[in-house]
Amino acid sequence: MSFSSLGLSEQLVRATSDQGYETPSPIQAKAIPAVLSGKDVMAAAQTGTGKTAGFTLPLLQRLSENPRQGKGPRALILTPTRELAAQVHDSVNLYSKYVPTQSAVVFGGVKINPQMMKLRKGLDVLVATPGRLMDLYQQNAVRFNEVEILVLDEADRMLDMGFIRDIRKILALLPAKRQNLLFSATFSNEIRTLAQGLLNDPVQVEVAARNTTAETVKQSVYPVDQSRKSALLSKLVRDNNWEQVLVFTRTKHGANRLTKKLESDGITAAAIHGNKSQGARTRALAEFKQGDIRVLVATDIAARGLDIKQLPQVVNFELPNVPEDYVHRIGRTGRAGESGHALSLVSADEGKLLAGIEKLIKKQLPRKEVEGFEPVNNLPLKPKAKADPSRARSRNGGGNARSGAGRPDGQRSGRPGAGGRGRGQGQGQGRSQGRSGQRQSA
């Protein structure tokens, strides 16, 4: 199968060839013809499988078939983070190389006046984060009456980050007659509810089971006490001679602390999170891609939109509160068919979070202790051996810290998982925590 066989024009096929792509990925093979047909599309695929080209290429072709009459925009692409918005805009520019298309990207964290000037010149494609887009609308810098195609990219993350009110406001301003495309790595129940009110008889495209991880990513767990995580990370970076590793922390302050610790150990590192200015975030990412720094420490705001070719390692310094975020974190490696390694440094207090992740991805991750870093506070993170049921009941009935960690739902008998983030009560708490304070950070 080739891109031309999917119905794309010669100009777009040539642009993909310039990027070294000759064969469509599974999501592209299914999504491109569906988008070209003019129907609404709801598509899900593992991160790193080419979703962006899956909607960008047919979108550009549909626009090229009917030249712009007014000032536009004619296609509106909404993304949850600045990094993802910039990445999608880069893709629009790359693939429109031989197709006359004007595009722009707008997001928060930078001055608004230059963005307003770009919009006044007229454009075909606008890539935006919802918050900044509403700011521009309220200042009369953008109108939506010419929008023909709406794309919600990583819509589940937009909901997690609290953008639903802005999204609903934007939807109310758009022309009723338009094509709607909803692309994401996963589809939560909330997303399916949103889709019901947004999409009209959509073509559903799904090329991987919901919330699965790519087969190209080798996953492992390193049990270690919380107090020794940074020392173990430094050892792994040095001993394995890692030149490029993306490390995820749970908080912004944790990212800053870890960055300083790595630098004190002689390892070049930089942090990227919502409290950093956009200039600092862009600079850190560029230095990481160029190999000027070895370790990029990020919060979950960066889990979507970091497209780094052949990134070999991702490390979860701390497990995420929401199990789905684990899928997106490790999806930064093993992209476009390349192999990758995702390892998690897990302390005893994260046993329930690990159980929630393993339940979500429907597999138990292999454990590997490092000599000299064996944990003192050891929950049963290792797979349990089969035991006599009566002995198991006696052991678990003692009410100690071990009693719930080995359960697949991450809960103790009779108690909701207060520290877990499974599909029930715990996940709702995790999502609400993830939403609070992140909207302005994006």
> What is the predicted pLDDT for the residue at 305?
58
**Spatial distance between the Cα atoms of 331 and 348, rounded to a whole number of angstroms:** 25
Q: Using one digit for the tens of pLDDT, what is the confidence trace for 63-122?
A: 999 887 888 899 999 998 888 899 899 999 999 999 989 999 999 989 999 999 999 888
pTM recorded for the entire structure: 0.63
User: Which ranges in 331-424 belong to alpha helices (H)?
Assistant: 351-361, 389-396
Domain residue limits, the chain: 4-206, 217-396+407-413
**pLDDT at 35 > cutoff 80:** yes
**Which residue, chain included where needed, has tokens 């780094």?**
308
**pLDDT at 341 > cutoff 70:** yes
State the pairing for strand pair 75-78/149-153: parallel
Report the topology of domain 4-206: Rossmann fold (3.40.50)
User: Which ranges in 332-409 belong to alpha helices (H)?
Assistant: 351-361, 389-396
- In sequence order, the 6+-apart residues with CB closer than 8 A to the CB of 199 are 40, 41, 42, 180, 182
Q: Using one digit for the tens of pLDDT, what is the confidence trace for 45-78?
A: 766 678 899 999 999 999 999 887 888 899 999 9
Helix 252-264 vs helix 229-239: crossing angle, to nearest 10:
50
- In sequence order, the 6+-apart residues with CB closer than 8 A to the CB of 142 are 73, 119, 126, 133, 136
Which CATH superfamily includes the segment(s) 217-396+407-413? P-loop containing nucleotide triphosphate hydrolases (3.40.50.300)
**Spatial distance between the Cα atoms of 229 and 223, rounded to a whole number of angstroms:** 9
**Which residue, chain included where needed, has tokens 């454009």?**
123
Do the domains at 4-206 and 217-396+407-413 have one common CATH topology? yes
The mean predicted confidence, pLDDT, of the chain is 82
